[in-house]
Amino acid sequence: MTTTHQHPTNARRAVSYFFILFGTVSGAWAARIPAVKHTLNLSDGQLSYGLLAVAIGLITGMRFAGHLTDRLGSARLLTPAAIATSLTVILPGYATTLPALIATLFLFGLVNASLDVSMNAHGVEVERAYGRPLMSSFHGMFSIGGLIGAGIGGLFAWLDLSAAATLTAVGIPLALASLYVRRHLLPATPPPAATHTTTPRRAPWTSWIILMGVVAFAGLVGEGAANDWTAVYLFQNLGAPQAVAAAGFAVFSAAMTIGRFAGDHLAQRFGPVRLVRYSGLVAALGLGTALLVGQTLVAFVGFALFGLGLATIVPQVFSAAGNHDPARAGQAIAQVATVGYAGLVAGPAIIGGAAELIGLPAALGIPALLAAFMAASAGALRHPQSS
């Protein structure tokens, strides 16, 4: 890979671009799901098979993405993974049958894994070059990208243009831009594992890695629950008008984005352990208050606190995983992400199933309890080095 003279500032901007790219692609796809569903005349159940294919592809890809990142180096893998993600998001827009949609979405999820792991791993390298936390703002860039992608998708839908046109208009420019941005990544050097013959080829699943994965799982269950159930709770249980209820997730998302951009400063000032501990408590208090008081205005404040609390936890966990064993940073991130992303997929279903048994307000208490668990587990971030 050809590189110019590197400076951490340029590398930080490059990694930010790749986080924005991932968010934009994801947001554009999410915005055009209804169009794909309508074009293929799919039932809700049939569409769920396609959406599940993305998750299966992502989790499958994690099995290989970490090892590839450590073997090739994050700088070498990041650009091809970004280009592949930008181009494969186009394919579902051209699917003409449900099996074709499932196949293209599985492929999309598969390549997403390599982009996710390599950009987080390179983000950890940039953090080391800077000597201060940056991961939270990188994840904030993903949120910004999601808003950009959703906006583009909404514009194309308003213009009555197809999902294929939308995804093509998003994917091709992002792929081309990636070719330029790659020169600003940190120099591609032999991964540390290549210089230590005693380093095993595969990173073991240690108790620390599993704990970090469970913490990430807890945080992402909360994100998934907020995505699918905040509006339902406001409308169904608090009697808010639909237009007001729809704003519940927007408040949560805005608070999470703000929290992510504030997270690096807070991590530098308080350290990751205290930040995660306080963040978990804020999230638990916010959601718990929203559920116990049962008033619309209080619920909005509670959802905002929930978003602020969750905002910094997963980035700190990913950063700790990347520093756990620098020779196998990609594998550690992939292992944590594998467990964590299962929470994003399973979260809405967990809340839905529990709501059938105990009611939605009580079911939403699960993410509040998980937030308290994250606060209690924060001390584990004190030991990022492998033993």
Tokens of 334: 């992939």
Residue 199: Cβ-neighbour burial (10 angstroms; 0-12, 13-18, 19+) = middle
pLDDT tens sequence across 181-216: 999 999 866 555 444 444 446 778 889 999 999 999
Predicted pLDDT of residue 42: 87
pLDDT at 272: 92
**pLDDT computed for residue 2 by the predictor:** 42
CA 70 to chain centre: 21
**Do 93 and 163 form a contact (C-beta atoms < 8 A)?**
yes
Residue with tokens 């992402």: 220
Helices vs. strands in the chain: H and E counts, helices first: 15, 0
Which residue in 331, 348, 342, 344 sits closest to 59, CA to CA?
A: 342
Overall pTM surpassing 0.85 (yes/no): yes
Strand, helix or coil for residue 189 = coil
The whole-number mean pLDDT for each consecutive block of 10 residues of the chain, a chain of 387 residues, reads: 61 95 92 90 85 88 90 92 97 95 95 94 92 92 91 91 95 96 81 47 83 94 85 87 82 92 93 95 96 92 95 93 85 91 81 88 94 94 57
Sign, CA torsion 67/118/81/6: negative
**Per-residue confidence (pLDDT) for residue 189, from 0 to 100:** 62
E strands, 206-288, where? none
Q: Measure the CA–CA gap between 290 and 298, rounded to whole angstroms.
A: 6
Q: How far is CA 159 from the centre of its chain?
A: 29
Nearest to 279 by CA among 114, 382, 136: 136
Q: How many CB atoms lie within 10 A of CB 282?
A: 21
